[in-house]
A and B are shown apart, each in its own frame.
Chain A
Amino acid sequence: MGAVHHDLAGGGPTFEPMIQIDMEIKAFVSAWRHCDYVSTYMARMISQNRSDSVRHSNLFSSAFNELLEVAFRTRHADGELACRVSRHGATDRIELTFPCVPEERQFYEEAVSQLAGIEARERYLNSVSGDLAPSRELVLLELAVDYNATLWIEDADGDAIKLVVDLPLEGLQN
């Protein structure tokens, strides 16, 4: 659970690419339903050889849609959205690259660095008691706490950010 500083240089397991979708961020943000389309479509495609494809697809779509909604709210109007899913054993890795402004980038970096530990869990569990609308931080917290996801940020070209999320859904289901 929580954030991990990934050892990029040191080998690590190899994730096999499964599917990738790229589109102009302008096109993506032109309609809200794109989040639902893309998450549903990709979830179906990558779940086919999971032991329970129907439920895997439902869970994956649920998690992925939240990430896409985060990307949808970016304040940067130019560039590319890239969604890539790869797999290693029971874990599916989502790499979501999208343009963002420097403050947003800083926000994500902070949010991701605070995902680990007991306080994160506490913050998540209490998050609906505040009055504000759900924050982007909450979305990340939920992935870490409820989906057992590991999240981190990698470098991307230009004014963009790459959010990487390892989702161990196959182990989560039963």
Chain B
Amino acid sequence: MSPYDLLPRFKAQYDANNQEFSISGVVRPQAIDELGPSIALLRDAIGRVRGVLYVNVRRLTQMNNAAFHTFSRIIIDACRARPELKFVVITSSVVGWTSRKFGRLSGIEPNITVEEYDTEFYPGQGFLEEGGFVPILRTQTKMTWRHERAILPRHGMRPGIVMADICCGIGDFAVLVQKEFQPSRIVALDHSMTSLDYARRVMREFDIRGIEYTYGDASEMLLDETQFDLVTCRHSLQIFNRPELILRELYRICKPGGRVYITNEKNSHCLGEPRAESIRWTYDEVAKLFKHFEMDVELGPKSRRYLVEAGFEDIRVETFMVTNLDGDPQDFADVIAAWADVYAGEMATRRGDGPEFVARFRQGFEDHIFAALHPKGYAGWPIWVASGRRPQ
């Protein structure tokens, strides 16, 4: 028998605190008795809960009709036996069939509702996925690439590898990697349809091959485990309120002996001369602003700890500073202007900041731009690069 036959391919759990029954993996039984323990667990959960039972199928990648029918039957019967009980089925937009299939249940029993969980699943999502960020990413990647192209080979990048770029944004990094290092395959995943559409358009227009873009959720990916030599995740761990969950997924899809490569910022360390004070004040405030939305843009130096705690070995950390002297200072200025737009704009407004604060906040960005464009000025944006090897 192959290991495939021995592995349980699905898992059912009940979390009493959240009144949540979840079932995940591939559920394709031949006979219903293969589901025995899971069915017992669901029945037991139904017996215990009051009010609402959450049925979480976010990580359910496959379920055949035989299994679906069995679980549905139990839930429908429970609705009829206990009219005061409500069921909320939580699906994922990433697994296309689940919302349709489970959606039927709400038509049969009004006490069953079906929700796609990932329409709003972390606090800052709105700003980052469909917001003003898309144009900034282009220039940012152009600036960071000058450094990273030299850094990447020290972290496992080489021709012919199979790699994944998770939270790929508009795909510029994947394209640059493809040109420079020629991996044999790149899977690039993001949760923004807008960004992916853009990325696919670029790929078509420039006739780029070897990159597969996929819509997905970095915290629960449909990608198979242990298939990539290198998994990159750039500027993104810092936007999740629980980065360790993402890291666990990056680890899962990485081959034993392969590496996971992450880049993150420490925004309060952005700097400039002249006008250093005002710049520093503003970037300290940037860190606080993100913190308000449960994002940690100070994560950079914590990368080592995160990688250790996720089980990686041979951890390598380095930093580089993007500066106004790298290329066209105007690029640097454009990025700062774009940050100012979002941070001192939508984000500050959402937090409820007053005009006085916003004016001072904005001034720091303007001073950073001033420093960047000043003939004797210097402006910097530091980035932390870290990678770890998945043990054999």
Residues in chain A within 8 A of chain B (CB atoms): 32-33, 35-36, 48, 51-55, 58-59, 61-62, 65-66, 69, 124-126, 128-129, 131, 133-134, 138-139, 142, 146-147, 172-174
Residues in chain B within 8 A of chain A (CB atoms): 4-5, 26, 28, 30, 32, 61-62, 64-66, 68-69, 72-73, 76, 94-97, 100-101, 104-105, 107-108, 187, 189, 193, 196, 200, 212-216, 222-223
Residue picked from A33, A53, A66, A134, most chain B C-beta under 10 Å: A134
Nearest Cβ in chain B — how far from A129, in angstroms? 5
**A-B complex: 4 closest residue pairs judged by Cβ atoms:** A32-B30, A54-B214, A134-B65, A134-B69
User: Can you spell out 20 A-B residue pairs with CB atoms less than 8 angstroms apart?
Assistant: A36-B26, A48-B212, A52-B212, A54-B216, A55-B214, A58-B62, A58-B95, A58-B222, A62-B62, A65-B28, A66-B64, A69-B65, A69-B66, A125-B107, A125-B108, A128-B104, A128-B108, A134-B68, A146-B101, A147-B97
Nearest Cβ in chain A — how far from B116, in angstroms? 14
Nearest Cβ in chain B — how far from A17, in angstroms? 22
Nearest Cβ in chain A — how far from B217, in angstroms? 11
Contacts of A48 in B (CB 8 A): 212
Find out whether the CB atom of A128 lies under 8 angstroms from the CB atom of B69.
Answer: yes
* A53/B5 contact (C-beta < 8 A), A62-B97, A146-B100, A174-B193 known: no
From DSSP, what is the main secondary structure of chain A's interface residues?
Answer: helix
Instruction: Specify which of B62, B100, B104, B212 is in contact with A53 (CB 8 Å cutoff).
Output: B212
Q: Which residue of A lies closest to B66 (CB)?
A: A134
- Please measure, in the bound complex, the distance between the C-alpha atom of A36 and the C-alpha atom of B189, giving whole angstroms: 25
Q: Which residue of A lies closest to B193 (CB)?
A: A174
Find out whether the CB atom of A59 lies under 8 angstroms from the CB atom of B97.
Answer: yes
* A142/B62 contact (C-beta < 8 A), A58-B96, A128-B73 known: no
Q: Which residue of A lies closest to B63 (CB)?
A: A62
Nearest Cβ in chain A — how far from B377, in angstroms? 45
Contacts of B97 in A (CB 8 A): 58-59, 62, 146-147
Contacts of A51 in B (CB 8 A): 200, 213
Q: Which residue of A lies closest to B28 (CB)?
A: A36
Contacts of B94 in A (CB 8 A): 55
Find out whether the CB atom of A129 lies under 8 angstroms from the CB atom of B64.
Answer: no
Contacts of B212 in A (CB 8 A): 48, 52-54
Contacts of A58 in B (CB 8 A): 61-62, 95-97, 222
Contacts of A139 in B (CB 8 A): 65
Nearest Cβ in chain A — how far from B212, in angstroms? 5
Find out whether the CB atom of A129 lies under 8 angstroms from the CB atom of B200.
Answer: no
Contacts of B100 in A (CB 8 A): 146
- Please measure, in the bound complex, the distance between the C-alpha atom of A58 and the C-alpha atom of B66, giving whole angstroms: 18
Nearest Cβ in chain A — how far from B225, in angstroms? 13
- Please measure, in the bound complex, the distance between the C-alpha atom of A83 and the C-alpha atom of B170, giving whole angstroms: 37
* A128/B64 contact (C-beta < 8 A), A54-B223, A58-B222, A133-B69 known: no
Instruction: Specify which of A54, A65, A125, A147 is in contact with B64 (CB 8 Å cutoff).
Output: A65
* A65/B62 contact (C-beta < 8 A), A55-B222, A134-B69 known: yes
- Please measure, in the bound complex, the distance between the C-alpha atom of A49 and the C-alpha atom of B289, giving whole angstroms: 42
Find out whether the CB atom of B214 lies under 8 angstroms from the CB atom of A61.
Answer: no
- Please measure, in the bound complex, the distance between the C-alpha atom of A77 and the C-alpha atom of B94, giving whole angstroms: 39
Nearest Cβ in chain B — how far from A121, in angstroms? 10
Contacts of B32 in A (CB 8 A): 133
Q: Which residue of A lies closest to B108 (CB)?
A: A129
- Please measure, in the bound complex, the distance between the C-alpha atom of A57 and the C-alpha atom of B214, giving whole angstroms: 11
Nearest Cβ in chain B — how far from A86, in angstroms? 22
Instruction: Specify which of B65, B196, B216 is in contact with A142 (CB 8 Å cutoff).
Output: B65
